[in-house]
Amino acid sequence: MDKQFNVIDLFSGCGGLSYGFQQAEYRISVALDNWDFALKTLKYNHSGVDIICDSISNVNPLNIKNEYNIDVIIGGPPCQGFSIAGKRIINDERNKLYKEFVKYVAVIRPKIFLMENVPNLASMGNGVILESILSDFNKIGYKLNWKILKASDYGVPQNRRRFFLIGTQNKIFDFNALSIYKTKEITSKEAISDLPEGDIKPEDGYPIHPLSEYQVEMRKESLGIYNHITTKHTEKTISIIKMVPDGVITKIYRYIFKKREMLILHGQG
C-alpha cells in the first residue's frame, strides 16, 4: 500500500473491525465508543490509537474531520428499531445511532465506508429497511454495494453470517474481489481439540501439542491459554446434548426471530 489510509472506528467496542483493517495495513487513527472497558481492551491491542470514550451524539464529526485526515469510516451501529416494520421505520427513535453513522459519513466525506450489521437487516420489513438505508447514503453521494458474508469462508471456524455495506465515492466495490481470500472451512475439532479438559492458567503454557495447522497458526506469538474455565457437565446433560442434531439451535433462533417479526408486523409486538 503506497499510502497508509487513516481509519475511524465508530461503535468500536474492543476493536474487532479495527483489527482486520490493521492487518490490512490501514492506520487506525481514532476509535469512538461509550464502553470504557471495551476501549481499554482496544487500546491494549492497538497502540497509537486516539480513544474517545463518549456517546457518538456528543462528539461533533466536524471536529474529527478538522483534527484527523480520515480516509475510511468503519463501524457497526446498533439498530434495535430495525425490527419494527413500516415506511417510517428508519426514523424510529432507537435508530438514532445509525443516523449518527450517516451524519459522520456526510460530514467527513471518507473515500470509503464500511457498515456491518446482522444479516437479517437485508430482509426485515420486506426490504423496506435496507431500501431506506441505501437511500440515506445515496442522498449524500455514495455508490453502494452490500453482501452477506460467512466467516467460515474466510478461515474462521464459525458459521457466523454478517451483513456488510460498502460505500465509495467513485467505483462501486466488487465483493467478488474477496474470492482470493477464501479458504477451506476449519472444523471445530481443528480449532479447539488441543484445549485441555480441565481449567488452566496462561502461565501453564500449552499442555497439549498442536493437532492441526490451524492450531499452529493460532499459537504464534501466544504465551498461553487465557480464560479457559471448563464447565463440568453431568453425564445426563452430556447425553442430552449428544441427542441434539447439528443446526437445530440455529433453526430455533431463526423461528423465534421470524415469529417476533410477524407479531410486530401485525401490531402485537
Of 45, 41, 2, 8, the closest CA to residue 23 belongs to 45
Q: Count CB-CB contacts under 10 A for residue 53.
A: 13
Q: Would you call 200 helix, strand, or coil by DSSP?
A: strand
Nearest 5°: phi and psi at 179? Answer: -60, -25
Nearest 5°: phi and psi at 80? Answer: -60, -30
Cα 194 to chain centroid, rounded: 27
Cα 222 to chain centroid, rounded: 23
Among all residues, which ones are annotated catalytic? 79
